[in-house]
Amino acid sequence: MSAFTIDMSNPFPSEFASGLGGPGVGGHQSPDWYIQYGMDLGASAGSTVLAAFDAHITKYSPHDPSADTNKVYGAQLFMRAPNDMMGGFYTHITNVPEGLTVGSQVSRGDVLGEVYEFAPTATHLHLALVEIIGGAPGGQYQGVDLYQLFLDTANSDTVTPVTFNQDGSPPTSGS
């Protein structure tokens, strides 16, 4: 498979508060890439969450407050890049725009919802990224750690090209 590059931007160009932990830290443990490679990006309740890359929604679980637990709360969005070789998972959000559902196309910078507050947990967006070596649906899912990139680009509209090598090695960024 050939390497490819995706333009990424921070989901918080103006409302980021702090990093609360990246992949493998705290509760971010395997076996699932979308937990193990989670990046907890702190922001106030109600902060707008933006799409970090162009994608299409592949799975959407709307926010059901009656189902919230101390680990699983808010809406969940799984999405894949247009080439189906990279994806992301967003959770702990609410107020997802009406009409955004499975199959919807989103562009980098589109509104995905707002940060949801669930006390006593610090308010944050849980964002996890994955490279799909060989492409979806049958490819190998390899979690990706871009936590430092998101910390470095917080509260800015910086666009960073990220190259995914399709060989299991970490992606590289042009930041």
Q: Could you give the count of Cα atoms lying within 13 Å of 32 in the half-sphere of its Cβ?
A: 7
pLDDT in tens, the chain (175 residues): 799 999 999 999 999 998 898 888 877 777 888 888 999 999 999 999 999 999 999 999 999 999 998 889 999 999 999 999 999 999 999 999 999 999 999 999 999 999 999 988 899 999 999 999 999 889 999 999 999 999 999 999 999 999 999 999 999 987 5
Q: What is the DSSP letter of 10?
A: -
Tokens 């709307």 -> residue: 62
Biggest CA pair distance of the chain? 45
pTM for the model stands at 0.94
Query: CATH number of the domain that 61 lies in?
Result: 2.70.70.10
* Residue 38 lies in domain: 4-173
Please tell me the total count of domains within the chain. Answer: 1
Q: Where are the beta strands (DSSP E) in 104-158?
A: 105-106, 111-115, 124-133, 140-144
What does the alpha-carbon distance between residue 65 and residue 122 come to, in Å, rounded to a whole number?
17
What does the alpha-carbon distance between residue 144 and residue 169 come to, in Å, rounded to a whole number?
9
What does the alpha-carbon distance between residue 109 and residue 150 come to, in Å, rounded to a whole number?
14
pLDDT of residue 52: 98
Q: Which of 105, 24, 111 is nearest to 58 (CA)?
A: 105
